[in-house]
Amino acid sequence: MDLLRTSVAAIESDSEPYTLVELAGEADVTNSDALREVLDTEVAKQPRMVIIDLSGLRFMDSSALHVILRANRALDRQGGVLALASPREPVAKMLRLTAADQLIPVYASVSEATAG
Amino acid sequence: MAESPAGAGDFRHVAFLYRSDAEYAATVAGFLRGGLAADEPVFAAVPPGKGCLIADALGAAARRVEFADMTTMGSNPGRIIPRVLDFTGRHAGRRVRYVGEPIWASRGPAELREATRHEALINLAFAGADAEILCPYDTGSLTPAVLADARRTHPLLLSDSGPGTSAEYAVPFRLPSSCSVPLPAPPYTAMSYTYRTDLSQVRALVQKHAREAGLPDPRVSDLVLAVSEVAANTLRHTPSSGTLTIWHDRDEIVCEVHDEGVITDPLAGRRRPAPGALGGHGLWLVHQVCDLVELRSDNTGTTIRMHMLIRPRQPAD
């Protein structure tokens, strides 16, 4: 089984459609290129909103964080929004220590993220 | 007072070798009062008992001093410079004064090595800064070796013979040997593992050992992150494998990573990365989550030793 599993879905919600990217497993330097390809592909579709569901992620290192920060920059430039949802505590702590949570909103759940 | 060393601009880094609480209170309070009188922002990070001495001596003026408990802020000395840089950054464009007392007698040997390295690195981190830093050293309780290092890491001295320059201060910059010679060997009971790309296995090993050693779960995650960040650098920056060595005793668990990479920046991990920066987070995170980090790097490779306390350290006075 892959160390990092990703799945992408276009969600037609009542309020606003969004792209949901679910990450599960461990995201580190050995799979950050694959994660970058997944996010680049979605960002290229110029979505209004991308939500990354981190609930299945046991571990994330700074390489994966940099990929997410890059995606945030790219989305921001084209007027889109990136949000992170339901990180487990170790991942949430890493987002705080790097102050990434000051740049990218972090929500307790995907539904909270869609409510903005 | 004596003049600053050449090339250091207005930056002054003074070791204050004190003999009594009364001398401490009078001198440190006087230093801070001088800053307040010149409308300079002032910051004092000292052990709590010392903070009380200073506050008592300052009276009402103490309210205008930013205080921090150095036993918390500087428990890992690698976190002190970014905190002081935060302070100077908040007051950019103004001359500032800072009192930092990172060394006390109950620090263990590894902590003392790192606190001494921190004192030396202050000279690099603040070179040319519009700041004066006063570092009190308790001559009554610290060993002659620690006090000798204070003379090596500070260009300026304030002692019972008055203010002056330190003849032992190294120009150009050089770390004292006490904090730059190779680290003492791990115990023979330590476990070693050679890795290349199997970082998940590295993390699993750290998690297993840390739990068995009795480290609480949130700290286990911290240590896993730290070791993984350092091991990731092996993949990023070297063509060869790295070695993870783990050991523990009653008080702490230690993970050491050695590889052929070379870290040339002595301040690596001691500057807060800019918001959204796409680099510089690895060693920053390591210092933020570990209780103590020791780093040795030369052109043959790098060793990073990460310490996590299983039980609390003995507090300072």
Q: Where are the domains of chain B?
A: 12-179, 191-309
| Chain B partners within 8 Å of A59 (Cβ) | 203, 224-225, 228
Please indicate whether, in this complex, the C-beta atoms of A29 and B224 are within 8 angstroms of each other. Answer: no
Domain B191-309 sits in which CATH superfamily?
Answer: Histidine kinase-like ATPase, C-terminal domain (3.30.565.10)
Chain B, nearest residue to A27 by Cα:
B200
B6 at interface of A, judged by CB pairs closer than 8 A: no
- CATH class name, domain B12-179: alpha beta
Prediction ipTM score: 0.97
| Chain A partners within 8 Å of B228 (Cβ) | 28, 59, 61
B269 at interface of A, judged by CB pairs closer than 8 A: no
Q: Give the pair of three-digit tokens for residue A97.
A: 């220590």
Contacts of B206 (CB under 8 A, 6+ apart): B220, B223, B224, B227, B228, B244, B246, B255
pLDDT of residue B9: 53
What are the pLDDT tens digits along chain B (317 aa)? 444 343 345 899 999 999 999 999 999 999 999 999 999 999 999 999 999 999 999 999 999 999 999 999 999 999 999 999 999 999 999 999 999 999 999 999 999 999 999 999 999 999 999 999 999 999 999 999 999 999 999 999 999 889 999 999 988 899 999 999 999 999 999 999 999 999 999 999 999 999 999 999 999 999 999 999 999 999 999 999 999 999 999 999 999 999 999 999 999 999 999 989 999 999 999 999 999 999 999 999 999 999 999 987 666 55
pLDDT tens digits along A95-111: 999 999 999 999 999 99
Domain A4-115 sits in which CATH superfamily?
Answer: STAS domain (3.30.750.24)
Percent of chain B at pLDDT > 70 equals 96
pLDDT of residue A116: 74
Which one, of B85, B27, B36, lies nearest residue B65 by Cα? B36
B166 at interface of A, judged by CB pairs closer than 8 A: no
Q: How far is A77 from chain B (nearest CA, A)?
A: 14
Task: Say how far apart CA B77 and CA A9 lie, in whole Å.
Answer: 46
Q: Which of B235, B278, B285 sits opposite A66 (nearest CB)?
A: B278
Q: Which of B221, B229, B273 sits opposite A90 (nearest CB)?
A: B221
Query: How is chain A split into domains, by residue range?
Result: 4-115
Please indicate whether, in this complex, the C-beta atoms of A98 and B285 are within 8 angstroms of each other. Answer: yes
Half-sphere exposure of B182 (CA within 13 A, CB side): 8
Task: Say how far apart CA B86 and CA B262 lie, in whole Å.
Answer: 28
Contact A88, A57 (CB under 8 A): yes
Q: Which of B197, B276, B285 sits opposite A97 (nearest CB)?
A: B285
Phi/psi at B20 (nearest 5 deg)?
A: -145, 160
In degrees, to the nearest 5, what angle opens at C-alpha B170 toward C-alphas B168 and B172? 160
pLDDT of residue B1: 41
Number of Cβ within 10 Å of residue B247's Cβ equals 18
| Chain B partners within 8 Å of A102 (Cβ) | 275
Which residue did the predictor score with more confidence, A24 or A15? Answer: A24
Q: Alpha-carbon dihedral of residues A36, A41, A47, A52, nearest 10 degrees?
A: -40
Kindly provide the b/e burial profile for residues B162-195, where b requires at least 16 CB atoms within 10 angstroms of the residue's own CB: eeeebeebeeeeebbebbbeeeeeeeeeeeeeeb
Chain A, nearest residue to B226 by Cα:
A61
B282 at interface of A, judged by CB pairs closer than 8 A: yes
Which one, of B208, B154, B161, B228, lies nearest residue B5 by Cα? B154
Task: Say how far apart CA B134 and CA A67 lie, in whole Å.
Answer: 42
Task: Say how far apart CA A31 and CA A26 lie, in whole Å.
Answer: 9
pLDDT of residue A14: 74
pLDDT tens digits along B147-157: 999 999 999 99
Q: Which of B200, B221, B285 sits opposite A62 (nearest CB)?
A: B285
Task: Say how far apart CA B210 and CA B307 lie, in whole Å.
Answer: 11
Contact B197, B231 (CB under 8 A): no
Please indicate whether, in this complex, the C-beta atoms of B228 and A100 are within 8 angstroms of each other. Answer: no
pTM of structure: 0.95
Q: Is the pLDDT of residue A113 over 90?
A: yes
